[in-house]
Structure 1
Amino acid sequence: MGNTFKSNANLTFSIVAYKNYDQIINAVYSINKFTADFDKEIIIVDNTESEFLNTYSQEIDQLKAIDNVTLIQNKSNLGFGRANNIALKKAQGKYFVICNPDVLLIENSFNKILPYMEENPEIGAVIPKLIDQHHKIEPVYRRNLTLYDVFIRYFHPFNMFSKRRAYHTMQDKDYSKPFQVPFGQGSFIVIRTELMKKLNGFDERYFMYVEDADLCRRINQVSKLEFYPYTSVVHLWGKGSHKNSKLMKWHVQAMIKYFKKWGF
């Protein structure tokens, strides 16, 4: 099925960089290894500030040397959503792949995902099985954010409110079958480019964090975001905002904007 699907399965991968070039090089190599059947472009939008670029000149040159890579250097940090939207404006592929730098393909996932989306036009976006380096599925499929869930996540030990945590991360679902996802973490989402453009991409009022929750909610208003269990992608999840006060501040600011927009 993958071979007959090749001619109309153009892919645009959008990767946002911020000093993490080695990680991105690994991601790009994995993409090229496992998407040889498909016409594709990889757009890397670099938010690294200009004063740091010389430090990473070798890695940047290595990225520029890869044939299907387009590197756009903003020379300032414009935020995650805005950077992805820059890639969206240039996207030529039928499918737009939001891809974090810490993602690795481990199989030809698109030979499965794209035919499935073609056969199910009501599905506007797909998030596959995201697994960690130990091949354990990550809790990145969630119900819509509520203030209650945010409070539990940040202000209570993990052994408290376990039933509510399990509900929010959709542990009651059968992960052997597809199901609709209200909020899928934006580490790796395959969305129809036409739909992404119709939605005007990410809401740029979010500098970083929660823009994926907002996007998923808007996808589900007009189409359907679905968990697709029949292929896996490795996600080396860092959970940076839990370790860095500046990132935590951005996370809180994003939450405030989200709840002002969508309600509590």
Structure 2
Amino acid sequence: MPAVQSLSPRNLVVSVVSHGHGDMVQGLLWQLAELSAASVSRVILTHNLPEPEPIPPAGGWPFQLLQVVNEAPLGFGANHNRALAGASEAFVCVLNPDVVLAGAEDPFNALLAACESTDVGASYPVQIDPAGRVQACEREIPSPMALFRRRLLRRKETRVDWVNAACLVLPSVVWRSLNGFDERYFMYCEDVDLCLRLRLRGLLLVRAPIRVIHIGQRASARSWRHLSWHIRSLWRLWRSPVYARAQQLLTSASANNSTIGAS
């Protein structure tokens, strides 16, 4: 595994994909400009649907803002892969437009610091909802039994096999070695697959001691189309060799050293 580049100011590129999230994107970009000018060198904003361009603050954007307008909507992974292709920065960040940066300090200081070790594949923040409740972004591998225990039996999960990609920072060498997201997942499970591939390489997922507010709700709970995408993605995941190898590794007692609250 190539060595992770040393931390330095403005060595992070952030990819944001908007699906008509204009107001949220506007607020997020202004927060990045206010809090993260020292760490973020570029922001790549992909418009998956037509919408007005964001308005810059009075002093202009303190980072390079690149905007991509898709002729036709692409999937979550495809959009981020294209945005981050050829990134020259030492670190990349996948960031949802419905994330609000909580607090008065740059959250990327902690996220980048968590990636200092060469055995770390990605870092992530604690996610809370607008009411301040901690969201369940840390999950066990989504086997049918794990989903049954969580959804129907309401049992809490005890392992961190993967985390959602609402806010995920990776060393660029790791991102490139994984070839980004698997674009065969149009929507849903691309973050599961990425994390599992990362874990199969012996790399860690590390929770940084900072919080962000995640406003979004799972669209598959409200839309039949999204539900069908979710089911198809789960079916693809369960049939994949990545899932089979990860299921064997992560559920074995000897390899299970990742528990919720331990990162």
Structure-1-length-normalised TM-score: 0.81
Higher helix proportion (structure 1 or 2): 1
1:106-152 Cα offsets, whole Å, 9 max, x none, are 2311222223322x221121111111112221111011110223345
2:59 aligned with 1:62, yes or no? Answer: no
- Among candidates 77, 90, 110, match of residue 81 of structure 1: 77
- Among candidates 179, 183, 190, match of residue 211 of structure 1: 190
- Among candidates 106, 109, 112, match of residue 108 of structure 1: 106
1:94-243 superposed matches below 5 A = 94-106=90-102, 107-118=105-116, 120-151=117-148, 156=152, 161-163=153-155, 166-167=156-157, 170=158, 181-243=160-222
**Per-residue deviation, 1:46:** 2.1
> 2:14, 2:40 within 8 Å by CA — same for their partners in 1?
no
Measure, in 1, the Cα distance between the counterparts of 2:185 and 2:44: 21
- Structure 1 residues 259, 17: closer, same or farther in 2, change over 3 A? same
1:35-82 Cα offsets, whole Å, 9 max, x none, are 12224111112222xxxx3xx3xx32637x856211111221110000
Measure, in 2, the Cα distance between the counterparts of 1:241 and 1:39: 32
Q: Which runs of 4+ in 1 moved over 3 A?
A: 4-7, 150-154
Structure-2-length-normalised TM-score: 0.81
**Per-residue deviation, 1:215:** 0.4
1:181-212 Cα offsets, whole Å, 9 max, x none, are 31101111111111111111000000000100
2:30 aligned with 1:29, yes or no? Answer: yes
**Per-residue deviation, 1:92:** 2.6
- Structure 1 residues 117, 207: closer, same or farther in 2, change over 3 A? same
**Per-residue deviation, 1:93:** 1.8
- The number of residues matched between the two structures is 233
Measure, in 2, the Cα distance between the counterparts of 1:207 and 1:153: 24
**Per-residue deviation, 1:5:** 5.0
**Per-residue deviation, 1:229:** 4.4
Which residue is 1:260 aligned to?
A: 239
1:209-234 Cα offsets, whole Å, 9 max, x none, are 01000000011112423242411111
Which residue is 2:14 aligned to?
A: 13
2:44 aligned with 1:46, yes or no? Answer: no
- Structure 1 residues 39, 128: closer, same or farther in 2, change over 3 A? closer
- Structure 1 residues 150, 162: closer, same or farther in 2, change over 3 A? closer
**Per-residue deviation, 1:90:** 4.1
Which residue is 1:177 aligned to?
A: none
In structure 1, list runs of 5 or more residues that go unmatched.
Answer: 174-180
In structure 2, list runs of 5 or more residues that go unmatched.
Answer: 1-5, 248-263
**Per-residue deviation, 1:250:** 0.7
